[in-house]
Amino acid sequence: MNCTVSPRLTRGTPFAAALLGLGLSAVTGNPASAEGVGIASFYGGRLHGGPTASGERFNQNAMTAAHRSYPLGSRVKVTNLNNGKTVMLRINDRGPYVRGRIIDVSRGAASQLGFIASGLAKVRVERVGANADAAEPVRMVER
């Protein structure tokens, strides 16, 4: 007979420790500030048509982006600080996963921002619209 032990919550048991005992992890978007300055990169090519974190298919020509903590569906204004060009994008994916980068934009967005040739640009990212300062809610995922 296979039995498993359920984690017991007692006063002082850290919530995260109890979740780990259940085989769950708490996933939160870090409280994301409404604005940030850093390095942007772009993605496309072999990822075109593949799944995004939002569940939709990635379209390298769409005005979309990947961000580590902004809620999926958020709108952002991205400004290339080298040339002043600005685009409005929708967050539909997670990333970038390269140290020092704050956003990955689609190839189409990079083209409009003017950094296809260089591959990287110093940008300002601003969340716009309702709840621009709200962090992503906690959700549970199977480990």
Residue 14 has pLDDT above 50, yes or no: no
Is residue 21, in this structure, part of any structural domain at all?
Answer: no
- Domains contained in the chain, number: 1
Is residue 67, in this structure, part of any structural domain at all?
Answer: yes
pLDDT in tens, 87-136: 999 999 999 999 999 999 999 999 999 999 999 999 999 999 865 655 44
What per-residue confidence (pLDDT) applies to 25?
35
Residue 28 confidence class, pLDDT cut points 50, 70, 90: very low
Decide: helix, strand or coil at residue 124: strand
User: Which residue has better confidence, 5 or 80?
Assistant: 80
What per-residue confidence (pLDDT) applies to 46?
87
- Residue 30 to residue 55: CA distance in whole angstroms: 21
Buried b (16+ CB within 10 A) or exposed e, 45-83: eeeeeeebebeeebbbebbbbbbbbbebebbbbbbbeee
Is residue 64, in this structure, part of any structural domain at all?
Answer: yes
Is residue 43, in this structure, part of any structural domain at all?
Answer: yes
Is residue 1, in this structure, part of any structural domain at all?
Answer: no
Q: Are 116 and 110 in contact (CB under 8 A)?
A: yes
Domain that holds residue 35: 29-128
